[in-house]
Chain A
Amino acid sequence: MSNTMTAMVLHRLWVSFLTFIFVSFVVFAITNMLPGDIAEIMLGQAATPEAVAGLREAMHLDEPAILRFLRWLGGLFVGDLGTSLVNRLPVSEMISGRLGNSLKLAAVTTLLSVPVALLLGIASAIWRNSWFDRVVSTLSIAVISVPEFMVATGAVLVFAVYLQWLPALSFANEVTSFTQMLRVYAMPVVALSFVISAQMIRMTRAAVIDTLRTPYVEMALLKGASRSRIVLRHALPNALGPIANAVALSLSYLLGGVIIVETIFNYPGLSKLMLDAVATRDMPLIQSCAMIFCLSYLLLITIADVIAIVSNPRLRK
């Protein structure tokens, strides 16, 4: 790794860190925008002035907002996410199990969709403008331009209602055997895979076609190399950076998809927890869930950018 490259990567990481601070400030500011006193709301009927004052002090609500923000941010870094306003449990305890479930869903989806999407994307770049390419491109554009919940409901209709291969709802709590696991994960994973594969196919195809427009590919064409040899030997190695970038970027779409898919299939993951928290206005829980989502999104975008920097041969000296 050259010095310029290291410097650029470090700069990118620094920008990500600053972004994280800014984003946490935005999340904190929005969740504190609500007029009204949390202490008073929490105490409800028992809100005597003394009790309210006591609770305000215990929750540090009497401090200026910026101090509370710094305290909260400091807590985030050491894993102290505060306590839920609704059931008085530590937020980190409520989140840990759910986070595991969501990560499992994301991991299985990634393992399934990345190879399939890459194959389809590269294949449609090789045979571009053929009927295969047209079908794949049209389908992926169609999936992108409809809401995520429609993709999920469509998957349920096809696989659970008409074909009756899979159950329509899943409950990840009662997994004891492999076949059961398959049945639980199948629907959410299939639905989620459709959502992110569409993006990945389009971006992979664009990345490969982009390298096909370069002079060295034209040279290979003039030498009389076959179409698949041009793509596999000349274009693909040079497109690996952009493709890895495309994969990381598409995976950031997992997030929006996860929120919808977990809702449809009643999957006990993090976004289900967050939606329930929105319904009960449990701010510490909402803040923590939002920060976990933002952090993973930021992480994926940063990885994508770092890959783009590292894979740029002009910086490799």
Chain B
Amino acid sequence: MTEDIASRRAARGRLGWRINAVGLIGLAVVVFWAFVAIFGPMLAPYPVSEIVDFDYFGGMSAQFWLGTDYLGRDMLTRILYGARYTVGISLAAVMLACFIGVTMGMVAATVGGWFDAVLSRAIDALGCVPNLLLSLVIVAAVGSSIPVLILTLAAIYSCGAFRFARALAVNVNTADYVKVARARGERLPYLIREEIFPNIIGPVMADFGLRFVFIVLLLSGLSFLGLGVQPPNADWGGLVRENISGLALGAPAVLMPSIAIASLTISVNMLIDNLPTRIRDRSE
């Protein structure tokens, strides 16, 4: 009897971790870009800001795989270096956003009362400022640098993470085991760490991925407007901005960074839509 249950659990465990083909492709692309973000500069065929071609907006060739940009710099190199900014800044921002937002959300849901009410209302109101606009105003006020970008993006998206985590935690908070833990006299840190957090981790992870996509899009948009990563460095959005005049020529210098962004965001979406059932089940 016990053996039977154990084997069944093992079988379900094996099945539960299986991921389908679409999810696997998404995972592969995400891992690829993570690899590029770390090792990109070592893979780059040319120095990043060296003008290697006398022709600007060159097409794709054996020498320059992705063509050259508006100054005749190698586009592949620029994109490999840009990955570090796009992926790095977004990842730092999303981790900060989710840490702050999820912690505050769990605390608000567990404590309740006026603390919860005031915080929720304030964050709802803040949600009525469009994200791009809020980041524009902040960058206009304090200037753009990488720490400012990370903090701005994290602040904006921690509001969403807060609302998401709070809604989940409010449900968990009414469960019997939380009541029991409370009756036992457990304190707030124990409650959120041991009772609430393990029960919302699945959806929070899916939300983490989705928020990462939003942050990549917003960061690219900001850089495209010239308010993100500042020249001579460039993330992928900045690369599109630099080379926008090549658009009328249909130059690969405009297309390739856009394709890089799209491949990252779409594959993260594909991955979280097809997460292994083991993780998904927790989210229901």
Q: Are B265 and A146 in contact (CB under 8 A)?
A: yes
Inter-subunit contact A294/B262 (CB<8 Å): no
Contact status of A256 and B261, CB under 8 A, knowing A147-B224, A148-B221: no
Min C-beta distance of B162 to chain A, whole Å: 16
Say whether A78 faces chain B, with CB atoms less than 8 Å apart: no
Known: A146-B258, A168-B248. A18 touches B128 (CB 8 A): no
Question: Closest approach, in angstroms, between the C-beta of B242 and any C-beta of chain A?
Answer: 13
- How far, in angstroms, from A271 to B217 measured CA to CA in the complex? 18
Counting CB contacts under 8 A, is B189 at the interface? no
> Do B262 and A290 have beta carbons less than 8 Å apart?
no
Given A146-B258, A161-B250, A162-B250; A293-B130 close (CB under 8 Å): yes
| Size range of the chain A interface in the assembly | 35 or more
Give bound CA distance, A153 to B129, whole Å. 26
Contact B125 A23 (CB under 8 A): yes
Q: A27-B137, A149-B240, A256-B131 are in contact. Are A168 and B247 (CB under 8 A)?
A: yes
Pick from B5-13, B52-60, B138-146 the stretch touching chain A: B138-146
Nearest CB to that of A280 among chain B residues? B140
- Known contacts being A147-B220, A256-B131, A260-B221, is A31 close to B137, with CB within 8 Å? yes
Q: Does B213 reach chain A (CB closer than 8 Å)?
A: yes
B23: CB under 8 A from chain A? Answer: no
Query: Per-residue 0/1 for B206-234: is the Cβ within 8 Å of any A Cβ (1 yes, 0 no)?
Result: 00000001000100110011110000000
User: What CA separation (Å) do A156 and B258 show in the bound complex?
Assistant: 14
**How many of B's residues come within 8 Å of A, CB to CB?**
41
B273's closest neighbor in chain A, by CB? A141
Q: Give Cα A100–Cα B137 distance, bound, in whole angstroms.
A: 22
Candidates A26, A31, A153, A255; contact of B126 at CB < 8 Å: A26
Q: How far is the CA of A265 from the CA of B214 in the complex (A)?
A: 24
CB pair A255 B221 closer than 8 Å: no
Binary contact readout B230-260 vs A (1 if CB under 8 angstroms, 0 otherwise): 0000000100100010011110001100100
Dominant SS among interface residues on chain B: helix
Which residues on A sit within 8 Å (CB–CB) of B137? 27, 30-31, 286, 290
Q: Is A157 touching B125 in the complex (CB atoms < 8 A)?
A: no
Pick from A30, A147, A298: contact of B217, CB under 8 Å: A147
Closest Cβ neighbor of A160 among chain B residues: B248
A153 touches B254 (CB 8 A): yes
Query: What is the distance, in angstroms, from A96's C-beta to the closest C-beta of chain B?
Result: 20
B129 touches A23 (CB 8 A): yes
**Interchain CB contact under 8 A, A145 and B265:** yes
Nearest Cβ on chain A to B163's Cβ, whole angstroms: 15
A294–B125 contact, CB under 8 A? Answer: no
Q: Tell me if B25 is interfacial: C-beta within 8 Å of chain A.
A: no
Q: Is A119 among interface residues, defined by CB-CB distance under 8 A? A: no
A33–B138 CA distance with the chains assembled, in angstroms: 9
Q: Which residue in B129, B224, B255, B261 is a CB contact (below 8 Å) of A26?
A: B129
CB of B247 within 8 A of CB of A147, answer no
Q: Is the CB of B125 within 8 A of A22?
A: yes
B258's partner among A34, A150, A290 (CB-CB below 8 A) is A150
Interface residues of A (CB under 8 A from B): 18-19, 22-23, 26-27, 30-34, 141-142, 145-150, 153-154, 156-157, 160-162, 168, 252, 255-256, 259-260, 263-264, 274-275, 277-279, 281, 283, 286, 290, 293-294, 297-298, 301
Instruction: Give the interface of B toward A (CB within 8 A).
Output: 122, 124-126, 128-134, 136-142, 213, 217, 220-221, 224-227, 237, 240, 244, 247-250, 254-255, 258, 261-262, 265-266, 269
* With A146-B266, A281-B140 already in contact, 8 other A-B pairs whose C-beta atoms are closer than 8 Å: A19-B128, A32-B141, A141-B269, A161-B247, A259-B225, A275-B136, A278-B227, A294-B130
4 closest pairs, A vs B, by CB?
A278-B140, A22-B125, A150-B258, A146-B262
